[in-house]
Amino acid sequence: MQNISFKKGIVFAIVLLFFGVGIVSNAAEGMILEEKVRFDGTVATPGYIDVLAFFPKSHDFGYIHEGESYQTTFDIWNNGTGTLIWNLETFRPWISFSPTSGSSTGENTLITVTINTTGLSPGNYEASICITSDGGNGCYEAYAGLSHPPATPIINGPVSGKVRNKYCYTLTTTDLDGDNIYYYVEWGDNIVDGIGWIGPCESGEAITINHTWNKRGDYCIKAKAKDIHDTESEWASLDVSMPKNVQLTDGWVFQFLERLWGFSHVLSQLLCRQYSCFWMGC
């Protein structure tokens, strides 16, 4: 009987020892058990746990425009009980952040991330901001895309006409990414038709629009295109004149002179008769 109790006691002690080691091991994970020098040269205090935490983990800027800057933010803090020392770095020249280093005993530090697209070619971009600390390491990911602008539109239609007549014009262009396209048109007469952007249209699809000029003069039709990401093309232009200039042909000139000569011949005969009657006493 005593042997059975003794054996139970040994088993119980072994179980306690097993679980005790596990608990101590889990508690010690991440805990600073002895003095150590951090990467910034400071000495960590024994008995405290530093745990790196940051949120959000990434940001997608979506499709953006070349030559502009965009910003977002994320937070870094110590999710442990010590003083977390952290540092940031990246290898992409078009992304920057502030601040670049810091510490936390639990409070949040707001990191401002800025991307500058000046000089970037159309395409998809990805950058990692590497976070190193004495409480672990991590990476914040940033994504962005630059779409190709549509080609400069082509305007086809009459270049002269008469006021208060309706004239039709066609617009067409293509987009290298195959995106749908919108058109914006200015008619040169300061009249806002309220249509705004016309579309969407498929890349390469021609559209027909019309306009009426109510005053005589010379006008410049201007048109541009944009894709679904609001990336705009260069302006296209077409000069028109209202009313139509009369073109004098040689045939028209001869007809006019012939009629004028005929009228002059008749007029001279009438005058001769009148003068003859006067001198002769008619």
The whole domain housing 215 covers 154-242
Total domains in the chain come to: 3
Within this chain, do residues 62 and 142 fall inside the same structural domain, yes or no? yes
Within this chain, do residues 63 and 141 fall inside the same structural domain, yes or no? yes
Query: Quick check: is 266 in a domain?
Result: no
Within this chain, do residues 11 and 80 fall inside the same structural domain, yes or no? no
CA distances from 126 to 60, 69, 130, 141, 264 (A): 9, 15, 13, 7, 87
Q: 129 near 145, Cβ under 8 Å?
A: no
| Sole residue written with tokens 């190709």 | 148
Where does a domain end: 146, 173, 203? Answer: 146
Within this chain, do residues 175 and 211 fall inside the same structural domain, yes or no? yes
Query: Quick check: is 86 in a domain?
Result: yes
State the CB neighbour count (10 A cutoff) for residue 148: 17
Within this chain, do residues 77 and 164 fall inside the same structural domain, yes or no? no
Within this chain, do residues 96 and 139 fall inside the same structural domain, yes or no? yes
Within this chain, do residues 175 and 123 fall inside the same structural domain, yes or no? no
CATH code where residue 117 lies: 2.60.40.10
Within this chain, do residues 10 and 24 fall inside the same structural domain, yes or no? yes
Where does a domain end: 124, 146, 168? Answer: 146
CA distances from 271 to 117, 262, 263, 264 (A): 87, 14, 12, 10
Query: Quick check: is 87 in a domain?
Result: yes
- The residue among 65, 179, 42, 189 whose CA lies nearest residue 115 is 65
Within this chain, do residues 184 and 218 fall inside the same structural domain, yes or no? yes
Query: Quick check: is 18 in a domain?
Result: yes
Query: Quick check: is 163 in a domain?
Result: yes
Within this chain, do residues 48 and 139 fall inside the same structural domain, yes or no? yes
Per-residue pLDDT of the chain (282 residues; tens, 9 = 90+): 455 555 555 545 554 454 444 433 443 344 444 445 555 555 555 566 899 999 999 999 999 988 999 999 999 999 998 999 999 999 999 999 999 999 999 999 999 999 999 999 999 999 999 999 999 999 999 999 999 999 999 999 999 999 999 999 999 999 998 999 999 999 999 876 667 899 999 999 999 999 999 999 999 999 999 999 999 999 999 999 997 544 444 455 556 555 665 655 555 665 556 545 544 555
Within this chain, do residues 139 and 177 fall inside the same structural domain, yes or no? no
Is the pTM above the cut of 0.75?
no
Tell me the three-class secondary structure of 18-62, residue by residue.
Answer: HHHHHHHHHHHCCECCCCEECCCCCEECCCCECCEEEECCEEEEE
Within this chain, do residues 142 and 85 fall inside the same structural domain, yes or no? yes
> How is residue 281 annotated by DSSP?
T
